[in-house]
Amino acid sequence: MNFWNKIIYGLFVPVLVLANTLIWVVSPENQTFNYAFSLFNLSLVVIGVVIHFQEIRVKIKSSSFRYLMSLGINVFLVFSILALLNHLSYKNPLEMDVTKDRTNSLAEQSKKVLEMVKSPLTIELFARREEWDPMLRLIQLYRVENKLIQIQAYDTEVRLDLVKRYDIKQNGTVRISYKEKSETSLLVDELSLTNSLLKILKEEVKTIYFLQGHGELKCSDPSGEGMSYLCQKLRNENYLLKDLNLLENPKLPTDISAIVMAGPQTDLLQQEIELLEKILKEGKSLFAALSPDLKKPLDKNLIRLLNQYGFKVDNFFVIDRLSTIEGSQATQPIVTKYEQHPVVVGFQHRTIFPLTLAIRPMGETLIQPIAMTSDFPGSWAESNLSDLAQGKAKFDEKSDIMGPISVLALRERELNQAESQRLAVVGTKYFLANSFQSQSGNGILFSNIINWLTNDDNIISFNRPVRDEQPVILSSQHLQVIFIISILFVPLVFMCVAIFIYRKRKYE
């Protein structure tokens, strides 16, 4: 009996206690199992103390026990120091990204959004335990930028109570809690998590009105001729989108943050122009995308309105022959050159402006061209529409305009110390169309402009660096060599060195 007591309490129970400690550290979310295991171990220890009370009493008075106590205290202090260092490193995380394309760092927009976090914010991850690692690595980047962020991870197969309470439908869901608000969404990538943060951090929901009634692009249209992609992008950034028909509802809404004119194909009536003038006089922002047509002149009422604010728009279609080098057409200028402005700070994407008009300032310093085509003779603004329609466009120094040509221009006028009126005009509605979003930065640039128009300057630009892919391809022979060296050869070498040192010391 004494033999089995020694086996149980000298080997088995210490192993169980150590295993229990490791489980608490590695898997704290399994609370029911952990508490039950801890209670079982505690029971074994108490029973052991009762059974061996006399032996323990004698051991306590021995010198060997005092030595063990001294050693135990030293070990406890060492582990306490390590635990303190680990706690400090967790509370004050520090990481360094040494990759060339900064793929292990957050985008500038995410960092700007995190500057809005002024109180403790909790991000709870719900997923199977084996799926945690990549998601937690991404979430940890947010915590590195802002120490007010707290992270919790729950195994959906274990914490069924929380899954039911928060109505979690899918693994990989994150629940963000900030002050008295919460937001639940699926964690797909950095953009999805940043958008969720935006929704919960924005104190007010800004409303963007889309002018309707003239054949404009529609948010509800998922075809290539619609703009559902960009509208969904704005909704993800917590904007409220509404339609505005000035003829059906001449009473102007009071919650306008910006108006989007997405390429009207028919002329605006004088009554509508007057209502727009009233809106602009109140300091509201406007985004106007024109709808150029080779067969008819521009809407004179709309052009007159834009002229009042310094935008010069003529029937000059932009030709950029250098776009053909990148696989586009000369009538679909690809822009990679941008003038200095907060909207395009750090912007590195190419944008496409199919069948676009030139947008120029009328001698007013408030108008700032942003997106520019290539230099002459690569690009120019063509005035001969008949030659353009026949594909025979050729630069005429008497009537055409030499490049670079502006296809997007902005205007800002300060109203007071806190507010300013902002306008943006782009030469083509196709800049907004779904068919030109997948292979260009049009969506990012449009989002930046809307952020700027609504005075959300702190969240302008979500520019991820373009990754320079240089994959390492390993053959089966390479993998075998790596396995032999790392798994077999290196450990064997260290083992041989250890045996050699041991034998040498033994016989000295």
pLDDT tens-digit series, residues 234-264: 887 788 999 999 888 778 888 898 999 999 9
Evaluate whether residue 326 is within a structural domain.
yes
- Our CA dihedral for 183, 189, 194, 200, rounded to 10 degrees, sits at 0
Question: Among 165, 199, 233, where does a domain finish?
Answer: 199
Is residue 68 domain-shared with residue 191, that is, in the same domain?
no
Residue 382 and residue 439 share a domain: yes
* Crossing angle of the two packed helices 228-236 and 442-453, in degrees rounded to 10: 50
Q: Which of 267, 288, 275 is nearest to 428 (CA)?
A: 288
Residues 83 and 134 in one domain: no
What tokens appear for 52 in the block? 């061996």
Pair 409, 287 in one domain:
yes
CB atoms under 10 Å from CB of 153, counted, come to 19
Token digits for 477?
């022979």
Q: Is residue 432 part of a domain?
A: yes
Instruction: Write the CATH number for 116.
Output: 3.40.30.10
- CA 387 to CA 409: how far, in whole Å? 27
Q: What is the residue type of 357?
A: L
pLDDT digits (tens, 9 = 90+) for 335-344: 988 988 888 8
Q: Which pLDDT band, with edges at 50, 70 and 90, does 29 fall under?
A: low
**Range from 21-25, 161-165, 406-410, 490-494 carrying the lowest mean pLDDT:** 21-25
pTM (predicted TM-score): 0.66
Domain that holds residue 126: 108-199
Name the least confident of 21-25, 164-168, 444-448. Answer: 21-25
Q: Which two tokens stand for residue 425?
A: 């005009």
Residues 437 and 404 in one domain: yes
The reply to whether 228 falls in a domain is no
Task: Pick the closest to residue 181 from 109, 112, 114, 117 (CA basis).
Answer: 117
Q: 123 and 39, same structural domain?
A: no
If asked whether residues 450 and 360 sit together in one domain, one would say: yes
470 is a domain residue: no
Task: Measure the CA–CA gap between 49 and 27, rounded to whole angstroms.
Answer: 29
Give the C-alpha separation, 87 to 92, whole Å.
8
38 and 154 inside one domain: no
Note the pLDDT of residue 210. 94
Q: Which residues does 185 contact at the CB level (< 8 Å), separation at least 6?
A: 173, 174, 176, 192, 193, 195, 196
Instruction: Report yes or no on 464 lying in a domain.
Output: no
Is 285:235 a contact under the CB 8 Å cutoff? no
Task: Inform me whether the pLDDT recorded for 462 exceeds 60.
Answer: no
The domain boundary, picked from 153, 172, 199, lies at 199
DSSP class of residue 75 equals H
The number of CA neighbours under 13 Å toward the Cβ of 219 is 18
Which 3 state secondary structure label does DSSP give 355?
coil
Q: What is the pLDDT of residues 209-235, one digit of tens each?
A: 999 988 899 999 999 899 999 998 888
* Claim to verify: residue 159 and residue 307 sit in the same structural domain: no
**Over residues 162-173, mean pLDDT:** 90
For the four alpha carbons of 377, 380, 383 and 387, in that order, the dihedral sign comes to positive
State both tokens at 479. Answer: 């993998």
- Evaluate the CA torsion angle 275, 281, 284, 288 in order and state its sign: positive
Question: Do 334 and 320 meet the contact criterion of CB atoms below 8 Å apart?
Answer: yes
CA distance 413 to 365: 10
CA distances from 361 to 194, 263, 306, 336 (A): 36, 20, 10, 21
Same domain for 135 and 84? no
Is 100 within the bounds of a domain?
Answer: no
User: Would you tell me how many other CB atoms lie within 10 Å of the CB of residue 223?
Assistant: 11
What does the pLDDT read at residue 231? 92
Residue 171 has pLDDT above 80, yes or no: yes
The DSSP string of 171-227 is TTEEEEEETTEEEEEE--SHHHHHHHHHHHH-SS--EEEEE-SSS---TT--STTS-
The whole-number pLDDT of residue 219 equals 92
HSE of 3 in the Cβ direction (CA atoms, 13 Å)? 0
Number of domains composing the chain: 3
Q: What is the pLDDT of residue 389?
A: 75
pLDDT digits (tens, 9 = 90+) for 335-394: 988 988 888 887 888 899 998 999 989 876 789 999 998 888 888 888 887 777 777 778
DSSP state of 362: -
**pLDDT tens column, 51-99:** 777 777 777 777 777 787 888 888 888 888 887 887 777 666 666 665 6
Same domain, 285 and 431: yes
Span of 11-20, 250-259, 490-499 with lowest mean pLDDT:
11-20
pLDDT grade for 2, boundaries at 50, 70 and 90:
low
475 within a domain of the structure (yes/no):
no
Per-residue pLDDT, averaged over 32-37, amounts to 79
- Per-residue pLDDT at 465: 43
Query: Tokens 């303190």 label which residue?
Result: 84
Average pLDDT for the chain: 82
Within 13 Å of residue 497, how many CA atoms lie on the same side as its CB?
6
Residue 498 lies in a domain: no
Mean pLDDT value of segment 94-107 = 66
Q: What one-letter code names the amino acid at 365?
A: T
- Residue 299 vs residues 34, 131, 214, 270, 290: alpha-carbon distances, Å: 73, 56, 11, 11, 9
**283 and 390, same domain (yes or no):** yes
